[in-house]
Amino acid sequence: MPEPDDSPIRVARLAQADLVHDPDDRLALVVEMVRELSSQDDPQTLVSIFRKRAFKLFGGDNSLSLSRRGLDPPDYLITRSTRWKNDVNPWKQKDKLPQLRGGILGELLYGDEPRILKNVCVNRDDPAFDYLESARSLVALPLYDRGVALNMVVRMSSAADAFDGISVADAVLVGNLFGRATSSLVLADQVRKVNAELDRELRGVAAIQRALLPRRLPKSDKLDVAVSYTTATRSGGDYYDFFELDEGRLGVLMADVSGHGTPAAVVMAVLRTMLRTQCLQCTAPGALLRFANAQLCDHLASLDHTFITAFYGIYDPADGSFHYACAGHNPPLLVDRHAKVRELDEAQTLPLGVEPLCEFREGRTTLQSGDTLLLYTDGITEATNAAHEMYGRERLLSCVRADVPNAQHVVDCVVNKLQGFTSSSTPQDDQTLLAIRIR
């Protein structure tokens, strides 16, 4: 419990005659106080400044702050006292606040109304006698929260009739406005701390998610591979992966969970686990998507409007064949060495997680030397500029030319042009681009 000031009882330092009555002087005092308060963002400092200035505005030589928040009548806490040698932070050190029961202060606080007591004589058996023994007059100013005086400021003077000259209405109004401002600062501080903790957690989720992506790109005499992966928030729902299959074949996956952020990242992690445990058992692209779809329909049944678009293809370097299936995803773009463009759209089916019994068609093509295959998520083609124009497929294809030396140059070109088009390095949606050039 804070120690009271043991100095002898003083006469009123600010008697009624010392109050500021002149309107111009009062205005200057208020402006000075408001300016000083406006520069503070610490609620404890704010209260200290206001308390010092308030003596000149409303008189008195001591003050108390009371709270009944979370307590039953007639209990209350002393949250502040000018007689304490050391201030206590009531928001962080509630366990150090004195808890009293009943008496004059309990009656005033639970009375829920402003009061002026012109001639006070406190009995020694009053629970707050140590705080009130020098008081000969006082004014009680309730601070309302949802219509109830959960807090109260009690200003005291060692002189009788010391508060006749103040406007109680003004004092109640100023006290309540100041109380709301202080509460806002406390809440803002709490929000900052919660946001900081949330940000740390989201950074952790993002780190875990990126750890689930392939650590290395496939290395092959037949393939040159490059990728760009950018999330709209800390973490996202785009996913790409490679599966090394038998006889030198390579599985290539691109997927996009609806939405973005942490929920999409969690679904992405679930999808990765499913596919990683099953990719070697499913010899055909349609079979892998069919397995994933059946599992996801069970897992996502309770999540409204959550689905996954996916494209999965298997490349066989022995004959250049590319066998693929597509679950509602953007068809990859195949650009040959003569700049002829073709969409791999022969196997379009519903997204994963929509229809449990969906069958996934398959398509086939042959990849030849000089071909470039672009797999991407809609966060790239649907990105918009200030005029609400979409980036689109044609701008994406502008980076695929015969004179571009490798897949990485294609990816870098798209990323740079896309940022210039949107005038932002922060995308509106997750953006993933995978370029595969056949050597």
CATH number of the domain that 141 lies in? 3.30.450.40
Contact 40, 49 (CB under 8 A): yes
Residues 26, 145 share a domain: yes
The answer to whether position 394 is within a domain reads: yes
The answer to whether position 404 is within a domain reads: yes
Residues 252, 150 share a domain: no
Residue 32: how many CB atoms within 10 A of its CB?
11
**For residues 124 and 177, what is the distance between their CA atoms, to the nearest angstrom?**
35
Distances (CA, A) of 221 to 52, 224, 248, 438, 439: 79, 8, 11, 9, 7
The answer to whether position 118 is within a domain reads: yes
Within a 13 Å sphere around the CA of 129, how many CA atoms are in the beta-carbon half?
7
Per-residue pLDDT of the chain in tens (439 residues, 90 and over written 9): 555 544 433 333 333 435 555 666 778 878 887 888 888 888 888 888 888 778 777 888 999 999 999 999 999 999 999 999 888 999 889 999 999 999 999 999 999 999 999 999 999 999 999 999 999 999 999 999 999 999 999 999 999 999 987 888 888 988 888 888 888 888 888 888 898 888 888 888 888 888 889 989 998 889 999 999 998 888 888 999 999 999 999 999 999 998 778 888 888 888 888 888 887 787 899 999 999 999 888 877 766 678 999 999 999 999 999 999 999 999 999 999 888 999 999 999 999 999 999 999 999 999 999 999 999 999 999 999 999 999 998 999 888 876 778 999 999 999 999 999 998 767 888 999 999 999 9
> What is the structure's pLDDT at 2?
57
Contact 345, 331 (CB under 8 A): yes
Helical (H) or strand (E) element with 394: helix 392-397
Angle at CA 199, nearest 5°, toward 197 and 201?
70
| Token code pair at residue 436 | 């595969």
> What is the structure's pLDDT at 425?
65
Range of the domain at 363: 213-438
Residues 28, 83 share a domain: yes
The number of folded domains in the chain is 2
Residues 242, 160 share a domain: no
**For residues 41 and 186, what is the distance between their CA atoms, to the nearest angstrom?**
9
In sequence order, what are the beta bridge partners of 334? Answer: 342, 373
Cα radius of gyration rounded to whole Å, the chain: 36
Helical (H) or strand (E) element with 82: none
Which spans in 112-216 are helix H?
Answer: 129-132, 168-212
**For residues 170 and 177, what is the distance between their CA atoms, to the nearest angstrom?**
11
Residue 239: which of 201, 217, 280, 210 has the closest Cα? 210
**Boundary (domain end) residue, out of 146, 175, 190:** 190
Q: What is the CATH number of the domain that holds 415?
A: 3.60.40.10
| Contacting residues for 387 by C-beta, under 8 A, at least 6 apart | none
Residue 105: how many CB atoms within 10 A of its CB?
25
Residues 376, 262 share a domain: yes
* Angle of the 43-58 helix axis to the 23-38 helix axis, nearest 10: 170
Q: What are phi and psi of 266, to 5 degrees?
A: -65, -45
The answer to whether position 324 is within a domain reads: yes
**For residues 77 and 145, what is the distance between their CA atoms, to the nearest angstrom?**
16
Residues 175, 219 share a domain: no
The answer to whether position 101 is within a domain reads: yes
> What is the structure's pLDDT at 42?
84
Q: What are phi and psi of 138, to 5 degrees?
A: -155, 160
The answer to whether position 43 is within a domain reads: yes
**Boundary (domain end) residue, out of 175, 190, 205:** 190
Counting every residue written for the chain, the total comes to: 439
Residues 387, 257 share a domain: yes
Residue 344: which of 320, 377, 370, 366 has the closest Cα? 366
Contact 61, 157 (CB under 8 A): yes
**For residues 115 and 138, what is the distance between their CA atoms, to the nearest angstrom?**
8
**For residues 324 and 252, what is the distance between their CA atoms, to the nearest angstrom?**
9
Residue 241: which of 269, 265, 213, 268 has the closest Cα? 213
Residues 113, 219 share a domain: no
> What is the structure's pLDDT at 3?
53
By the 10 Å C-beta count (0-12 exposed, 13-18 middle, 19+ buried), 417 is classed as: middle
Residue 289: which of 361, 221, 337 has the closest Cα? 361
Q: What are phi and psi of 12, to 5 degrees?
A: -60, 115
The answer to whether position 65 is within a domain reads: yes
Residue 347: which of 305, 264, 289 has the closest Cα? 289
Residues 236, 91 share a domain: no
What string of DSSP letters covers 314-342? EEETTTTEEEEEEEBPPPPEEE-TT--EE
Contact 297, 355 (CB under 8 A): yes
**Boundary (domain end) residue, out of 133, 159, 190:** 190
Residues 185, 246 share a domain: no
Residues 250, 181 share a domain: no
Residues 393, 272 share a domain: yes
The answer to whether position 105 is within a domain reads: yes
